[in-house]
Amino acid sequence: MLCPFSSGNKALIKNLYQFQKYSFRRMLAECLKINCNREKLGMLLSQICETCSTKQSHETGRLKHARTEENMTTVDEMLN
C-alpha cells in the first residue's frame, strides 16, 4: 500500500489511535493539519487494526527465490 504519510506522521496516527483512543472523525480533524486524504487515513487505520504496524506488508504472489537453477534442473529431470 502506497501511503502519502511520512514515518513520523504514521507513528503519530498510530499513537493517537491505539493509546489516546481517538475516533476516526477526531483523527481526521487532527490530520487535516497535515493535508491527509480521508481514504488514505482509513486505509492506514485498517492496516493498524489488522497488523498493529504501520509498515507495508510483504507482497503476495510467487516467491522470487523459488525459481533457482537448482529447482529448474530438478523440474526438468522430473519431466523427462
Distance of CA 56 to the CA centre of its chain: 3
Helices marked H in 1-80 = 7-18, 24-31, 38-51, 69-79
For residues 64 and 24, give the distance between their C-alpha atoms in angstroms, rounded to a whole number. Answer: 38
Q: Stretch 65-75: mean pLDDT, rounded?
A: 81
pTM over 0.85: no
- Encode pLDDT of 18-68 as tens digits: 888 888 888 888 777 767 778 888 888 888 877 777 776 666 666 666 677
Q: How many CB atoms lie within 10 A of CB 1?
A: 9
